[in-house]
Amino acid sequence: MTGIDGNAGKTSKERQSVEYAIASLLTLCKGEAKGSGISSKLHTLQRKLRTNRFHLAVLGQMKRGKSSFINALLRADILPTGVIPVTSVITEIRYSSSPAATIHYSTGQSENIPIALLADFITEAGNPGNKKQVGSVEVGYPASFLGANVVLIDTPGIGSTHAHNTRTTESYLEKIDAAIVVLSVDPPITQVESDFLERVKDDIPRFFFVLNKIDLVTPEELSSISHFLLEELENRLQLDSPELFPLSARQVLSTKRDNSDASFPIKLIDFEERLLQFFSAEKDQVLLQSVALDVTTIARTMRFAIAIGISARAMSVENLADKGRALNQLIAQAELELRELHVLLRQRTADILDQVEGDLRSHVESTIPDLRKRLKTFERQHPKETRTSLGRILEEFLMQAVDETFHKWKVQEDARIEAELHSLSDRFVAQANGILERLQQGAGTLFEVPVEQFSIACNLDVESHLYYMVEPIFHSLDNFILLLPRFLLRLVVFRKLDKNLFSILDCNAGRIRYDYVGRLEKSINKFDKELQAAVSIVTESLKSALCTSPHKANNQARTLNLLDTLIADCSRTVA
Ligand SMILES: Nc1nc2c(ncn2[C@@H]2O[C@H](COP(=O)(O)OP(=O)(O)OP(=O)(O)O)[C@@H](O)[C@H]2O)c(=O)[nH]1
Ligand SMILES: [Mg+2]
């Protein structure tokens, strides 16, 4: 008990230091332009600390039992589970006095739905390829452990055949304060899981590992699997003292339902105890650490600029004028390179769209012969229908044909675009970091100040939500057709449709292209903004470094001391 109380006291002191550091840094950049990169980042960190909301995400490869595990924690079948890839949307579960669910659409609208209808929105089957444009889902549930300001998050499985599921999860990672990684006994760890952990291990402050489905193995097998996994996590993935909790989500849920006495030990309780201990003793600390890490980076960047300012004051007027010009050139050069990078990013995006257009055109052209054959078969299979009933079944046939034509294509195209965007964003972030590094190196050399490294991390990703349309058959043909005798009507309708097949597909291809343009535009703007905000932290502070207002100059030494103290305090929290 004393340990936990002691920790709480330590956390509250450290929290005060980090809050003080944020407030002091905000005061220091008061003179900067409103909404500047530094102050807006500091305001975000301040909000994160104030709401003190802890994001605990359940991550893992598809089908390991993530959703089942959350249901087990909630002791209720709330989230849909199944044998094929199920979860396709991020679902945030928070405390509420009674069960509730809200769908947040990417369009900005929200809708409350009964919890029993969740599957229609968050599963591949109910919402294939996320065509309903669900951004995220919020579930409220009266589980006491959620009361500690914890948001538990169900994520789509990584490495699923639905590549967009992996991207959905990866784009959410920066919001995560701790992760529960669900592994299972069949097999214990795969290449996909190792690669994923390798990629994210430095970005998530705390991990817990759950080994699910232990009902499928004997106690002896379980012991050797656990041993093997701990070795893998510790030695190969270099994770510090990994905590592994073997359990069976299925058994917890079936015990709850049948009220039977399971013979196999249900070990969820071990995990729950650990989780509660973590919430009371460590949760706030982990959240604080992630904020302190960002605050330290900003303080170091500002310190670097102030040190340049101090070094500048010690120079002769001529020397300073030369160096000032050289620094301004360096900043101007960096800004120019960054603007060029921005143009290049837009060009590459346009190239991707051109490629989508080309792919769509050739896909439509190559589909037409097969669709013609199918229309002929359809005509033979429905020899009697005419007028309204013919119109109805033809519309159904076409709608299905359009859906089939584009759905499979979209899955492949999305995977291709995602891979391209991934490498595009990696390349651009690396180039932006290179520009900043050169700028800082140059500034440091000019003013003989040791360089503070600052690197950007942002992500570019895109989703596509398709919608198809088929005009009512008799509306898209001519009305006089309805006046024709039955046999002639059928003949004319099928002949006309055969002729119109290309334009029906082409029209839907146009919609799909438009959809890609919109989504890609949105993602590029977001990425650009993030990149810009990160870059401006460096350029803004360097620009203000040589500001020679007497008030600022007098304060520089004091500011440097203040920044040193803030950096030392925040670094203690991070350590
Ligand atoms: N034998 C056994 N099967 C389990 C257990 N937990 C889950 N399953 C089964 O594993 C399958 C996948 O479960 P889900 O909870 O949907 O897995 P998921 O990781 O959320 O899957 P995605 O959302 O598609 O990534 C389902 O058929 C579950 O019934 C368990 O403890 N034992
Ligand atoms: Mg799931």
In a shared domain, residues 310 and 218: no
**545 shares its domain with 450:** yes
Q: What was the pLDDT predicted at 256?
A: 56
| HEC-encoded secondary structure of 435-488 | HHHHHHHHHHHHHCCCCCCCCCCCCCCCCCCCCCCCCCHHHHCCHHHHHCCHHH
Same domain, 427 and 304: yes
3-state secondary structure labels for all residues of 229-264: HHHHHHHHCCCCCCCEEECCHHHHHHHHHHCCCCCC
Residue 258: the pLDDT is 46
Ligand 1: distance of its center to the CA of 127 in Å? 19
Under a CB-based contact definition with an 8 Å cutoff, are residues 88 and 154 in contact?
no
Q: Which of 58, 61, 64, 68 to mutate to test the pocket of ligand 1 (most atoms within 8 A of CB)?
A: 68
Q: Which atom of ligand 1 is nearest to the CA of 247?
A: 31
Contact by Cβ (8 Å): 156, 134: no
Least confident residue range of 94-98, 239-243, 383-387: 383-387
Same domain, 381 and 270: no
Contacts of 22 (CB under 8 A, 6+ apart): 42, 45, 46, 49, 291, 295
What pTM was estimated for this model as a whole? 0.60
Are residues 262 and 351 both part of a single domain?
no
Pocket test for ligand 1, best of 62, 63, 73, 158 (most atoms within 8 A of CB): 63
Residue 134 lies in a domain: yes
**260 and 403 both lie in a single domain:** no
The pLDDT value given to residue 547: 67
Tell me the per-residue pLDDT of 396-455, one tens digit each, with 9 for 90 and over.
888 888 888 887 787 788 778 777 877 787 788 788 888 888 888 888 898 888 887 666
CA–CA separation, 371 vs 502, rounded Å? Answer: 10
pLDDT digits (tens, 9 = 90+) for 520-534: 777 777 777 777 777
Question: Per the domain annotation, does 4 fall within a domain?
Answer: no
Residue 492 is which amino acid? V
Looking at the fold, whether 193 and 302 belong to one and the same domain comes out as no
Distance (Å, rounded) from C-alpha 168 to C-alpha 172?
Answer: 7
pLDDT beyond 50 at 463 = yes
Task: Identify the burial level of 246 via C-beta atoms within 10 angstroms of its C-beta, where 0-12 means exposed, 13-18 middle and 19 or more buried.
Answer: buried
Same domain, 187 and 319: no
> How far is the C-alpha of 479 from the C-alpha of 472, rounded, in Å?
12
> Residue 372: which pLDDT band, with cuts at 50, 70 and 90?
very high
CATH of residue 214: 3.40.50.300
Residues 306 and 277 in one domain: no
Per the structure, the complete domain to which residue 84 belongs is given by 53-281
Assess whether the C-beta atom of 80 lies below 6 angstroms from ligand 1: no
More confident residue, 463 or 251: 251
Domain identity same for 355 and 243? no
The last residue of a domain, from among 281, 309, 333: 281
* Ligand in nearest proximity to the CA of 69: 1
307 band by pLDDT with thresholds 50, 70 and 90: confident
CA gap 431, 279 in Å, rounded: 40
Residue 219 resides in a domain? yes
Q: What is the DSSP letter of 177?
A: S
Taking the centre of ligand 1 as the mean of its atom positions, its distance from the CA of residue 417, in whole angstroms, is 29
**Helix intervals (H) in 282-386:** 283-313, 317-381
Residue 81 alpha carbon to ligand 1 centre in Å = 6
Residue 473 has pLDDT above 60, yes or no: no
Residue 193 lies in a domain: yes
- Under DSSP, is residue 571 helix (H, G, I), strand (E, B) or coil? helix
> Residue 86 C-alpha to ligand 1 middle, in angstroms?
9
Residue 52 pLDDT class (50, 70, 90 cuts) = confident
Contacts of 335 (CB under 8 A, 6+ apart): 539
Is residue 558 scored above 80 in pLDDT? yes
Q: Which of 247, 281, 315 is the last residue of a domain?
A: 281
- Residue at 236 is within a domain: yes
Tell me if 91 is assigned to some domain.
Answer: yes
- How does residue 461 score in pLDDT terms, banded at 50, 70 and 90? low
pLDDT at 456 over 70: no
DSSP type of residue 104: E
Q: What is the pLDDT of residue 531?
A: 72
User: Token match 């299905």: residue?
Assistant: 400
Is there a single domain that holds both residue 111 and residue 210? yes
The answer to whether residue 471 scores a pLDDT higher than 50 is yes
Residues 348 and 474 in one domain: yes
Mean pLDDT of the chain: 81
The reported pLDDT for the residue numbered 363 is: 93
What percent of the chain shows pLDDT beyond 90? 21
Reported as a single tens digit per residue, the pLDDT across 220-272 is 999 999 999 999 999 888 888 899 999 999 988 887 544 444 444 457 788 88
pLDDT value of residue 209:
94
Alpha-carbon distance of 75 to 197, in angstroms, equals: 28
> Is residue 433 assigned to a domain?
yes
Q: Is the CB of 349 under 6 A from ligand 1?
A: no
**How far apart are the C-alpha atoms of 68 and 162, rounded to whole Å?**
20
Tokens 């008030």 belong to 551
Q: Do residues 282 and 7 make contact, with C-beta atoms less than 8 angstroms apart?
A: yes
Q: Is residue 48 part of a domain?
A: no
Q: Tell me the backbone φ, ψ of residue 238, rounded to 5 degrees.
A: 55, 40
* Number of domains, the chain: 2
How far apart CA 231 and CA 254 sit, in angstroms, is 32
The answer for residues whose C-beta is within 8 angstroms of residue 230's C-beta and 6 or more apart is 242, 244
Q: Which residues contact 292 (CB under 8 A, 6 or more apart)?
A: 14, 18, 21, 570, 571, 573, 574
Last residue of a domain, which of 254, 281, 308? 281
Cα separation, 175 vs 177, in Å, equals: 7
User: Order of strands across the sheet with 178-184?
Assistant: 110-113, 100-105, 134-141, 91-95, 150-154, 54-59, 178-184, 207-212, 244-246
* Residue whose CA is at the smallest distance from ligand 1 atom 2: 213
Residue 66 in contact with ligand 1 by CB distance below 6 A: yes
Q: Quick one: pLDDT at residue 552?
A: 60
How many Cα atoms sit within 13 Å of 291 on the Cβ side?
30
User: Prior bond to 187 cis, omega within 30?
Assistant: yes
Check pocket membership of 87 for ligand 1, CB cut-off 6 A.
yes
Round to whole Å and give the CA distance between 258 and 325: 78
SS3 call for 109: coil
The rounded percent of the chain whose pLDDT value lies above 70 is: 84
> Which carries the bigger pLDDT value, residue 348 or residue 407?
348
- pLDDT above 50 (res 567): yes
d(CA 297, CA 294): 5
Q: How far apart are CA 208 and CA 89, in angstroms?
A: 22
